[in-house]
A and B are shown apart, each in its own frame.
Chain A
Amino acid sequence: MSMDATIIIFLLIYLLTLLVSAIELAPLSVAALSGALLTAWFGIQYGVFTYEEALGFVDFRLLGLVIGTMIVVEVAERSGLFRVMALYAIKLSGGSPGKLFVFLCVTSAAVSMFLSDPTAMLLMAAATVTITKLLNYDPTPYFLASTVMINLGGTSTLIGSVSNMIIGVEAGMTFTDFVSYLALCEVALWALTILTLYWLFRSRLGEKRELPEYNPREAITDKQLFYRSLFILFLLIFLFLTLENLGVGPEGVALGCAILALILSKLDPAEIFKELDWETIFFIAGFMFIVGGLEKSQFLNILSTQLFQTFGQNSLNATLSTLWFSGIASTIVSNIAVALTFSPIIKLQGFSGLSSSAVWSALVLGTNLGGATTPFSGAVCMMAVGALKREGITVHFGDFTKVGLITSLVQLSFSSLYLILRFGLI
Chain B
Amino acid sequence: MARVKKWFKSRKPKGERKYEEEKREFEMAVGKPFIRIKIEIPEGFEDQRAQFLNLERDEKFLEEVRDLIKKRLTYEKHGVKP
Whether B22 and A87, one on each chain, are in contact in the complex, defined by CB atoms closer than 8 angstroms, is no
Q: Which residues of B contact A425 (CB under 8 A)?
A: none
For the complex, what is the distance from the CA of A127 to the CA of B24, rounded to whole Å? Answer: 10
User: In residues 21-40 of chain B, which contact A (Cβ within 8 Å)?
Assistant: 22-23, 25-31
How far, in Å, is A124 (CB) from chain B's closest CB?
9
Q: Which residues of A contact B11 (CB under 8 A)?
A: 27
Q: Which residues of B contact A27 (CB under 8 A)?
A: 8, 11
Q: Which of B8, B19, B25, B31 contacts A83 (CB 8 A)?
A: B25
Question: How large, as a class, is the contact surface on chain A?
Answer: 20 to 34
Return the 3 tightest CB-CB contacts between A and B, nearest first.
A126-B22, A130-B26, A126-B23
1/0 per residue B1-23: CB within 8 Å of A?
00000001001000110110011
For the complex, what is the distance from the CA of A129 to the CA of B31, rounded to whole Å? Answer: 11
Beyond A27-B8, A387-B19, whether A219 also contacts B31 by CB under 8 A is no
Q: Which residues of A contact B30 (CB under 8 A)?
A: 87, 90, 130-131, 134, 212, 214
List the interface of chain B (C-beta within 8 A of A).
Answer: 8, 11, 15-16, 18-19, 22-23, 25-31
Whether B29 and A123, one on each chain, are in contact in the complex, defined by CB atoms closer than 8 angstroms, is no
Q: Which of A86, A125, A214, A216 contacts B19 (CB 8 A)?
A: A125
Residue of A nearest to B27 (CB): A130
Whether B18 and A127, one on each chain, are in contact in the complex, defined by CB atoms closer than 8 angstroms, is no
1/0 per residue A23-44: CB within 8 Å of B?
0001100100000000000000
Q: Which residues of A contact B19 (CB under 8 A)?
A: 122, 125-126, 387, 390
Q: Which residues of A contact B27 (CB under 8 A)?
A: 130
Whether B29 and A218, one on each chain, are in contact in the complex, defined by CB atoms closer than 8 angstroms, is yes
Q: Is A294 an interface residue (CB 8 A)?
A: no
Residue of B nearest to A80 (CB): B25
For the complex, what is the distance from the CA of A165 to the CA of B31, rounded to whole Å? Answer: 38
How far, in Å, is B32 (CB) from chain A's closest CB?
8
Whether B8 and A26, one on each chain, are in contact in the complex, defined by CB atoms closer than 8 angstroms, is yes
Q: Which of B15, B16, B25, B29 contacts A118 (CB 8 A)?
A: B15
Q: Which of B8, B18, B23, B25 contacts A219 (CB 8 A)?
A: B25
Q: Is A383 an interface residue (CB 8 A)?
A: yes
Whether A87 and B31, one on each chain, are in contact in the complex, defined by CB atoms closer than 8 angstroms, is no
Residue of A nearest to B16 (CB): A390
For the complex, what is the distance from the CA of A80 to the CA of B26, rounded to whole Å? Answer: 11
Q: Which residues of B contact A90 (CB under 8 A)?
A: 30
For the complex, what is the distance from the CA of A86 to the CA of B27, rounded to whole Å? Answer: 13
1/0 per residue A64-94: CB within 8 Å of B?
0000000000000000100100110010000
Whether B8 and A129, one on each chain, are in contact in the complex, defined by CB atoms closer than 8 angstroms, is no
Whether A130 and B15, one on each chain, are in contact in the complex, defined by CB atoms closer than 8 angstroms, is no
